[in-house]
Amino acid sequence: MESKIKSALRWSVFVLAVAVTTGWLVLCFAYLTRLGWDGLMSLEPGALAATLAAAAGPPVALWLILVVTAQRQELADLRRAVLDFGLAMRRGQDHAETHGRALLEVSAASRRQAAQDGLVVALDDLASHASVVAERLGVLDVDGLARAWERYGAGDGWALLRPFLDRAAAEKDFGSRLAEALKGDAVSQLAAGAFMRRLDLMRGDGTANEQRLIREILEDGPVAQVGRLFANDVAAAEDAFVAVDRVDQPEAGGDQAASIEDRLGPQPTLFQPESKTA
């Protein structure tokens, strides 16, 4: 709308200037016609020059003023266009920076989500190996193991590790008894060895090391404490790969049905509050 008004104003000034110039030229022509050719030639050179200058001066001055005004307006428009272009460039740069920051935030969120998903999978794997050891060595009976898995599924990430810690706190010789029991069961050795290998990988993962809380949990949390219990027989766990084909033979694992009472025996834990002490 503003550009249309400016365009109409410019055309109006141009038409007015043409009309004024035309009127002035007609007036000058009438004056010279009245003066006649003889009267014009009878004028002295200075008077003739003054007459011609007086006739041509006003139109020249008028159009010079219009030209200068138009040039100033064009320069102002050019300056405004340059400023608008610079503003658009700055806005584009700001938009690019904002878009770049958004991409970085999305990338960081994706990395955090991937690390969290990997941690969940790793904890599930550790819980699975711990449940194998707990079931085969009698740390938990069938019902206690089922309740532990229910607690784990409800969000208690240490439900399958806490029975080992409870037994270790209640029994001074639990660590040595656990090591002896592991030596007699190759499947438990495999599970304990896999638990330790997974824990070492988690500790060496750069993503986990970047988060102080996760690093401290892996260094001194329930996972690390159970890992120290299993570490008493890590060397024996490595030899379990050779003996795995003799798991079901009586001489390899002994009487597996009686291992619960003979090796560790049921003890009171968070999941067995009414169990009798062996």
- Per-residue pLDDT tens for 49-62? 887 888 888 888 88
91 vs 238, residue with greater confidence: 91
Write down the pLDDT at residue 253. Answer: 41
Average pLDDT on 112-123 reads: 79
CB-CB contact of 184 with 240 (8 Å): no
Q: Is the pLDDT of residue 153 over 80?
A: yes
Average pLDDT on 159-163 reads: 87
Average pLDDT on 69-79 reads: 88
Comparing CA positions, the residue from 6, 8, 27, 23 lying closest to residue 62 is 23
Q: Is the pLDDT of residue 179 over 80?
A: yes
Query: Which two structure tokens, joined as six digits, stand for 221?
Result: 């949390």
Per-residue pLDDT tens for 216-251? Answer: 777 778 888 888 888 865 444 444 434 434 444 444
CB-CB contact of 8 with 42 (8 Å): no
Average pLDDT on 74-84 reads: 90
- What DSSP assignment string belongs to 189-249? HHHHHHHHHHHHHHHH-HHHHTSHHHHHHHHHSHHHHHHHHHGGGHHHHHHHHHHGGGTTS
Question: What gap in Å lies between CA 35 and CA 30, rounded to an integer?
Answer: 9
Predicted TM-score of the model (pTM): 0.50
Q: Is the pLDDT of residue 178 over 50?
A: yes
Average pLDDT on 97-110 reads: 87
Write down the pLDDT at residue 83. Answer: 92
277 vs 180, residue with greater confidence: 180
